[in-house]
């Protein structure tokens, strides 16, 4: 007589998604749910979302087959909260705490905890601005590759979503009709967050681990003046690009409440863009997902109503 398979043998272990309510996280949760993959959706507070159920027990399998995403509390200000989040998961989507200038100080203890809990695969959201071995995030890239048998680092270019929502560029477009940067005529292959999420879902769930860095870009590089002209064209709102120096950009960002050291890093990235650091495209989104990345023009056309001037009537 042969042994009967375990009831859970055909059920994959959950994927932990940190920052599950953020730009990339919520789209990754959606993508995993669409694949009927069990998800641990981690955030500081229980979201108001009927797709998610609270998960406070040791049983990480959803009791409702339609509710394959379950919420778990995970807070960088409370490292103890990470222990329950990583227990019983196979793969983790790791997004660093916002605004940090020393990511290793918080990420390294988390990675130790995840490794000790048996997590096999780590997928880190980093940036196209950082390479393995660079100070800061680059050190975390190296740590992940050394400590985990299955890993990937996503290095996306600048988000198209920075021109909508709560980003300073989005606010200045609506308030002042301008985008202010220290990038000069430098070009960026802006990427749609949805394309990052699509890559992440594949990297988290593919049977063969990727074990590499993925440089993610949109299909074409544009200057910020190009972006301003495109938004103006599709929305009818006059928008211009205003170029300033790196030091002025540093002070501007700090005036928004961004911590000074982090504001200096962001302003320095603008200077790097001016020098050509982001004037490149890759085929990675297509290679991994099988579909072309969203173009900036298509993104702007889809979001034209966000920028369109409001017509006031008496």
Question: pTM score, two decimals?
Answer: 0.88
Residue 303: is its pLDDT beyond 80?
yes
Hey, is 171 helix, strand or coil? helix
Extents of the domains making up the chain: 15-156, 157-191+217-279+292-309
Instruction: For residue 216, give the nearest of 262, 152, 269, 266 by alpha carbon.
Output: 152
Q: What are phi and psi of 243, to 5 degrees?
A: -95, 130
Q: What is the pLDDT of residue 309?
A: 87
Q: Name which CATH class applies to 15-156.
A: alpha beta
Q: What is the pLDDT of residue 46?
A: 64
Separation CA 26–CA 93 (nearest Å): 11
15-156 and 157-191+217-279+292-309 in the same fold: no
Residue 196: which residues within 8 A CB-CB, separation 6 or more? 24, 27, 125, 154, 156, 159, 216
Separation CA 80–CA 77 (nearest Å): 9
Cβ distance 101 to 108 under 8 Å? no
CA-CA-CA-CA torsion sign (160, 166, 168, 174) = positive
Residues 250-279, mean pLDDT to the nearest whole number? 95
Residue 156: is its pLDDT beyond 90?
yes
Token reading at 2:
């042969």
What architecture is domain 157-191+217-279+292-309?
Alpha-Beta Complex (3.90)
Token reading at 53:
């159920």
Cβ distance 55 to 90 under 8 Å? no
Convert the pLDDT of each residue in 97-153 to its tens digit. Answer: 887 878 888 899 999 999 999 999 999 999 999 988 888 888 999 999 999 999 999
Instruction: For residue 216, give the nearest of 270, 142, 289, 297 by alpha carbon.
Output: 289
Separation CA 218–CA 66 (nearest Å): 33
Separation CA 130–CA 156 (nearest Å): 10
Token reading at 309:
């001037």
């Amino acid at each position: 007589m042969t042994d009967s398979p375990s009831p859970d043998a055909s059920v994959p272990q959950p994927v932990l998604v940190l920052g599950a309510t953020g730009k990339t996280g919520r789209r990754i949760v959606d993508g995993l749910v669409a694949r009927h993959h069990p998800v641990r959706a981690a955030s500081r507070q229980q979201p108001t979302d009927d797709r998610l159920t609270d998960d406070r027990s040791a049983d990480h399998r959803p009791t409702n087959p339609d509710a394959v995403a379950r919420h778990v509390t995970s807070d960088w200000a409370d490292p103890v909260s990470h222990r329950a989040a990583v227990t019983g998961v196979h793969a983790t989507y790791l997004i660093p705490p916002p605004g940090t200038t020393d990511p290793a100080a918080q990420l390294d203890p988390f990675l130790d905890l995840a490794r000790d809990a048996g997590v096999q695969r780590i997928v880190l959201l980093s940036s196209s601005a950082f390479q393995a071995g660079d100070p800061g995030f680059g050190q975390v890239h190296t740590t992940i590759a050394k400590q985990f048998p299955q890993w990937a680092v996503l290095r996306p270019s600048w988000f198209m979503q920075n021109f909508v929502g709560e980003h300073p560029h989005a606010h200045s477009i609506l308030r002042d009709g301008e985008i202010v940067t220290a990038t000069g005529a430098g070009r960026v292959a802006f990427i749609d967050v949805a394309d990052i999420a699509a890559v992440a879902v594949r990297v988290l769930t593919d049977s063969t681990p990727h074990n590499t860095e993925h440089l993610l870009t949109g299909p074409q590089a544009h200057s910020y003046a190009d972006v301003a002209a495109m938004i103006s064209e599709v929305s009818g709102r006059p928008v211009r690009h205003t170029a300033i120096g790196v030091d002025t950009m540093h002070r501007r960002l700090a005036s928004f409440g961004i911590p000074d050291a982090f504001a200096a890093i962001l302003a320095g990235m603008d200077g790097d863009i001016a020098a050509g650091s982001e004037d490149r495209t890759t085929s990675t989104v297509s290679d991994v997902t099988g579909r072309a990345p969203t173009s900036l023009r298509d993104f702007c056309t889809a979001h034209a109503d966000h920028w369109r001037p409001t017509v006031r009537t008496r």
